[in-house]
Amino acid sequence: MRRSKIKYLSTGNEACGEGALRAGCRFYAGYPITPQNELTAYMSRRMEEENGTFIQAESELAAINMVFGASVAGARAMTSSSSPGISLKQEGISYIAGAELPAVIVNIMRGGPGLGNIAASQSDYFQATKGGGHGDYRSIVLAPATVQEMFDFTYDAFSLADKYRNPVMILADGMLGQMMEPLAFDDNIKPSGIIPKPWALTGAEGRKPLSAKSLRLGSGKNSLERHNERLQEKYKNIERSEIKTELYKTDDAAKIIVAYGSPGRIGRSCVDTMRDDGDAIGLVRLKTLWPFPYAEIRKLAERGCEFLVVEMSAGQMVEDVRLAVQDDNKVSFYGRMGGGIPEEEVIIKKLKNRG
């Protein structure tokens, strides 16, 4: 008989760490940066309890490449950082995507550009969803909105990474990383989606030697173009299978808030407030940022819905919403930058004034 769920009071950062451990992650390399430090500290304690490896690396560059090494050796591996540190990791993420290795990268976003500040932000959406490093590649990007989802999405990220041999990024704002909420999970939860890794370098015992690489100098079927075509086929497959969206009271909605992460929670509260006033408002909250739910949003647009995109950025996801809607008159935007939090009153005012 399975034991009932245990409830904890946890920060998002620590929930993320525990989710990784429960998914069977036994290799973590990180580097100090606010607001993700609770995660690194948590892993330094827990990895030893689980006989895993924790390394405080000499840099973000080293950390992501240690993850490359652990992953190519067959392990479930993770690194985490916040915006400026994620910029440094982008080279490594590109190599991981090119060599088709699974890896989980956590970005607890802070304000930029440059050193910016340490307040919550969502200004790394472009970087996360459009590639980030050099070359034509995609990372699967998951966007939790609660401490519970910090655990759940990180747990799921490892199966996704293994399934597609692809980097998976957890993209959360600093507020989600540092706030505390109840977290519940089955204490007997086991890693899921464990599949054989015949590509892993384990020593050429009883088989031909393997190589892992992103360099493609060959021609014909070994050419870089063919390699890229195969990658693009994989990305299309991910787009077909892995989109996750929460639709909240959208069935009869005339106006729809589109948001993810912390603004998703604010949006939900706006929907409830305005529904009490009799306004037909709904919310599309994205759980995957890439793949992006273009078809779902287009369907709502074809039904005649208008959209207000709310982000903690100058307007990044709104570009994808516009691509989905194909009618700029139906899409408006409200964003805060540099640590500002979108306000419920402003969202409601914008929705009431429009149309």
Site residues, another protein (CB under 8 A):
27, 29, 53, 55, 57-59, 61-63, 65-75, 77, 91-92, 95, 99, 201-206, 209-215, 217
In angstroms, give the least distance from the CB of 51 to another protein.
Answer: 12
Q: How far is the CB of 117 from another protein (least distance, A)?
A: 27
Closer to another protein by CB, 91 or 246: give it.
Answer: 91
Nearest 5°: phi and psi at 11?
Answer: -75, 160
Under DSSP, is residue 102 helix (H, G, I), strand (E, B) or coil?
A: coil
Shortest Cβ distance from residue 209 to another protein (Å)?
5
Q: How far is the CB of 249 from another protein (least distance, A)?
A: 46
Cβ of 108: how many Cβ atoms within 10 Å? 32
Beta bridge partners of 186: 5
Backbone dihedral angles phi then psi of residue 113, each to the nearest 5 degrees: -75, 175
Smallest distance from the beta carbon of 162 to another protein, in angstroms? 15
CB 116 within 8 Å of CB 127: no
In the complex with another protein, the residue whose CB is nearer, 205 or 277, is 205
Range 259-274 burial, b when 16+ CB lie within 10 A, else e: bbbbbbbbbbebbeeb
Q: With contact defined as beta carbons under 8 Å apart, do 93 and 171 qualify?
A: no
What are the CA-CA distances from residue 353 to residues 190, 249, 263, 282 (Å)?
A: 50, 20, 20, 16
Q: How far is the CB of 66 from another protein (least distance, A)?
A: 4
Q: 1 vs 217, which CB is nearer to another protein?
A: 217
Structure tokens at 33: 């940066």
Our CB check for another protein shows the closer of 46 and 275 to be 46
Taking the complex as a whole, how short is the minimal distance between the CB of residue 68 and another protein, in angstroms?
Answer: 5
Residue 73 or 337: the one with the smaller Cβ distance to another protein is 73
What's at 270, amino acid-wise?
C
Nearer to another protein, 223 or 326 (CB): 223
Tell me how far CA of residue 259 lies from CA of 264, 286, 316, 349, in angstroms. 5, 7, 11, 17
Q: Six-digit token pair at 123?
A: 């200004």
Closest CB 157 distance from another protein, rounded Å: 18
Nearer to another protein, 53 or 245 (CB): 53
Task: Say whether 210 sits in a helix, a strand or coil.
Answer: coil
Instruction: Give the Cα separation of 255 and 241 in Å (integer).
Output: 27
Other Cβ atoms less than 10 A from the Cβ of 349: the count is: 12
Residues 122, 342: Cα–Cα separation, whole Å = 12
Looking at the DSSP bridge assignments, the partners of residue 286 are 245
Q: Which is nearer to another protein, 74 or 339 (CB)?
A: 74
To another protein, the closest distance from the beta carbon of 231 in angstroms equals 16
Peptide bond into 102 cis (omega under 30): no
Which residue lies nearer to another protein by CB, 16 or 25? Answer: 25
